[in-house]
Structure 1
Amino acid sequence: MSTADFIKRFQENDHFNENASTSQALSEVIQSSTKPSSIVVETKQLSSLFNTSEFDRYVNFMEKGDVYSDSVPINLKLSDIVSTSTPLVVVTKFINPKLNLAIEKYIYDNLPNPKEFKSAKRLILYKNSPCIVIGKNQNPYKEVNMKYASLLQIPIIRRYSGGGTVVHDLGNYNFSYISSQNEFDRVGFSTGLNIFMNQLVGLKYKEFKLPVFPLGTNGKGDIINAENEKKISGSAFQISRGKSLHHGTMLLNSNLKTLSKLLKLSDKRKKSIVDRSTNSIPSPVENMNISDDIFTYCAISSFISSQANSQTVTDTNTDYDNLEIFEHNGSKCKVLKIDDVADLPSEVFDIYENFNKWEWTFGSTPKFELNLDIDDLKVSFSVEKGVIKQVRLSRPEPALDNLVSEIQSSNVLFRGDVVRDLINEDSVLRDSISWGIDFNCDYQHLGTTTN
């Protein structure tokens, strides 16, 4: 897909338009970020712990271009720097989750050979409009409240990394730390980030909200409140081709009530699905209630600090409007801001298109069995790669003869609307079975395209 075609589709597609859920989330984030803090200290006390001048420069850099300007910005394209042998931070200002995940995968795929270029580390930062992101090996039918997600038009996206299901909104920030497989450490980046965050606990700077409690990590690599062990950030990992990726979601000012409802399923629903997919492990969660800029700057500072012994930046050309060099304790690193789809390569759009497909989000679900009890009839579907491979009935049922025949002779997709059309129109089983499969969800409202 060409850049021009993607931009046109990007603007026309309803999934990119700000819906009620996005507006509500944005409003809540704005309201929460403007609440005054009761903790106040002098700025000069903070300076010894926190480079305020560098932080102010970072904030100005991130805000540059948000307001209309008569001059056309001169931007560096992602493809022109993605393979640099030096450490690189990429901050995307898009809030489209599929686009951000596509950018993340493109950067991961184009990381130089870690064995040859040991300094080629990456940090990616972004936040998303409301969405549900499931792990590569998960089953959305038993992880997600699909009916509620469809009602709110919140898309479900299957990522390329493992781990559990998470809900994103504009109140949480995502980070992805990419390094070599040999240097993979579940808590390495999290521990460094916590050090920078913890030094700010109880302090204040200008209008920004700083941490009010210390952070720690658990054995899974999750970031937690060190005082009550509630989870602040879940983790997902990917290791392939000599590379490693640690993906985390930081709860800063998220709508935790909606988050909980989107992942809440009845015990009956959970028991009706039998599989070997990766199960999410629910944990008590909590917001940090800090400003986005504070978190992202701490993440960048931690990343730069961890690369102190890496190859240093020698090319200090910052003639681009979306590229800047930041420093921490003498170490320097380039930070690329992405805020224009014209600066993205076609490969990103190809990955993005795959995230749109029902075949990827739902059809890639590991094989499973759905068991439905409808009065005195038991119906069991065996599903693999989105196709019903077998259906078993506890007794003969003429209304389902056509469905059974079609499943035996062709590839019948595991979708309520497809199965419904293959059941006798006069049978009450049409509604019961289609509802039992996917609650008659509109898959477009869940962010996928269907044939």
Structure 2
Amino acid sequence: MAIQQHARKLGLPLMNLVRLNGTPILKQLYLEEKLLRTSSDNWCIINDGADTPAIVMGISGKPSELLKVGSILREQVPVIRRFTGGGTVVVDNGTIFVTLICNKDAVPGVQPYPRSVMYWSGLLYNEVFRGTGDFQLLENDYVFGDRKFGGNAQSITKNRWIHHTSFLWDYKVGNMAYLKQPARAPKYRLARDHTKFICRMKDYMPRSVFIENTIEAIETYFSVQPANLEAIDTSSEANFVHSTRLLTKQELEEACESQPENIGVNV
């Protein structure tokens, strides 16, 4: 409490902190979209793992181009199209999610443009990973050396922006088989397959240390106060319509039929 009061005296903007544990990613994305569209406050959401495994694509993602749909249908893995841009990720309880939802004037010097928000996020996580590995922001990814462990998605409205990161604290090698090599990939990937392109955060930093470091770094820019999830759910607009959604089985089947490797194959 004393730290927060001191921060407010310094004129730092207020940041509401929501800490989740194991919340399904679809529910988290619903919450994020609602807060971006209907709230006028700054929010940080930290979700320590998703109990329900899922595949999440960006708003313009096409399953036929990004996913091996046949195996996804056979194994009944949920596929979600989120309201933000960015790439495709398989999430489960080994994924840590950190989302920042801010008013456009919340951070001095940060303009409501993707490159500006991304640059600032690199400075923020430089503090989180100070002295740990060879951290850098590389072509919109967070990497240790040349191996990715954090993928980002953003959305910017007239007065607000959201920056959402999925951190691979751990991952299952088998899950990477659901993903195709994307047609548009960062140059530093050098056509490497997923297991040679990504790394595990757990090899560099304990899970709890990462979360606490992240909160401390955010406190450099904001006066952070814990927020109650139940209060958020009841205070927002009841009739809000989400653009984030679960893809239907029919949509996935149609995507599967359009993939050359699946023509003539029953799934």
Q: TM-score, normalised on structure 1?
A: 0.45
Amino acid at match of 1:224: V
Structure 1 residues not aligned, in runs of 5+: 1-53, 55-84, 113-119, 202-212, 271-277, 308-331, 364-412, 420-431, 442-451
Q: Aligned equivalents of 2:63 and 2:219: distance in 1?
A: 37
Q: Render the CA deviation track for 1:328-384: whole Å, top value 9, x for unaligned.
A: xxxx4112254x6x973485896579623539x949xxxxxxxxxxxxxxxxxxxxx
Tell me: CA distance 1:217–1:162, structure 2 relative to 1, closer, same or farther (3 Å).
Answer: same
Q: Say whether 1:333 aligns with 2:160.
A: no
RMSD of Structure 2 on Structure 1 (CA): 3.6
Q: Say whether 1:106 aligns with 2:38.
A: no
Paired residue secondary structure (1:186): helix
1:302 aligns with: 217
8 A Cα contact 1:164 1:281, kept in partner: no
Q: CA deviation at 1:237?
A: 1.4
1:263 aligns with: 179
Q: How does 1:8-23 map to 2 (within 5 A)?
A: none
Q: Render the CA deviation track for 1:291-349: whole Å, top value 9, x for unaligned.
A: 33222211111111122xxxxxxxxxxxxxxxxxxxxxxxx4112254x6x97348589
8 A Cα contact 1:163 1:280, kept in partner: no
2:23 aligns with: 95
1:132 aligns with: 55
2:126 aligns with: 194
2:77 aligns with: 154
Q: Aligned equivalents of 2:238 and 2:143: distance in 1?
A: 33
Amino acid at match of 1:344: D
Tell me: CA distance 1:414–1:152, structure 2 relative to 1, closer, same or farther (3 Å).
Answer: closer
Amino acid at match of 1:262: Y
Q: TM-score, normalised on structure 2?
A: 0.73
8 A Cα contact 1:90 1:123, kept in partner: yes
Amino acid at match of 1:304: E
Q: Aligned equivalents of 2:82 and 2:238: distance in 1?
A: 14
Tell which has more relative contact order, 1 or 2 (C-alpha 8 A, sep 6+): 2
Q: Aligned equivalents of 1:152 and 1:162: distance in 2?
A: 26
2:6 aligns with: none
Tell me: CA distance 1:416–1:189, structure 2 relative to 1, closer, same or farther (3 Å).
Answer: closer
Tell me: CA distance 1:198–1:440, structure 2 relative to 1, closer, same or farther (3 Å).
Answer: farther
8 A Cα contact 1:93 1:337, kept in partner: no
Q: CA deviation at 1:171?
A: 0.8
Q: CA deviation at 1:139?
A: 0.7
Q: Render the CA deviation track for 1:235-282: whole Å, top value 9, x for unaligned.
A: 111112221111111111222x123211037xxxx9xxxxxxx84559
1:287 aligns with: 200
2:102 aligns with: 179
1:344 aligns with: 233
Larger radius of gyration: 1
2:143 aligns with: 224
Amino acid at match of 1:223: Y
2:42 aligns with: 121
1:244 aligns with: 161
Q: Render the CA deviation track for 1:197-232: whole Å, top value 9, x for unaligned.
A: 224x4xxxxxxxxxxx24111142x1110xx32111
Amino acid at match of 2:152: S
Amino acid at match of 2:129: M
Amino acid at match of 1:358: T
Q: Aligned equivalents of 1:247 and 1:440: distance in 2?
A: 37
Structure 2 residues not aligned, in runs of 5+: 4-12, 105-110, 190-196
* Identity across matched positions, percent: 18
8 A Cα contact 2:38 2:237, kept in partner: no
Paired residue secondary structure (1:223): strand
8 A Cα contact 1:173 1:249, kept in partner: yes
Q: Aligned equivalents of 2:148 and 2:164: distance in 1?
A: 15
Tell me: CA distance 1:281–1:164, structure 2 relative to 1, closer, same or farther (3 Å).
Answer: farther
Which of the two has greater strand per residue? 2
Q: Aligned equivalents of 1:244 and 1:235: distance in 2?
A: 13
8 A Cα contact 1:125 1:175, kept in partner: yes
1:86 aligns with: 14
Paired residue secondary structure (1:261): helix
Q: Say whether 1:356 aligns with 2:246.
A: yes
8 A Cα contact 2:78 2:247, kept in partner: no
Q: Aligned equivalents of 2:29 and 2:179: distance in 1?
A: 21
Paired residue secondary structure (2:129): helix
Tell me: CA distance 1:281–1:260, structure 2 relative to 1, closer, same or farther (3 Å).
Answer: farther
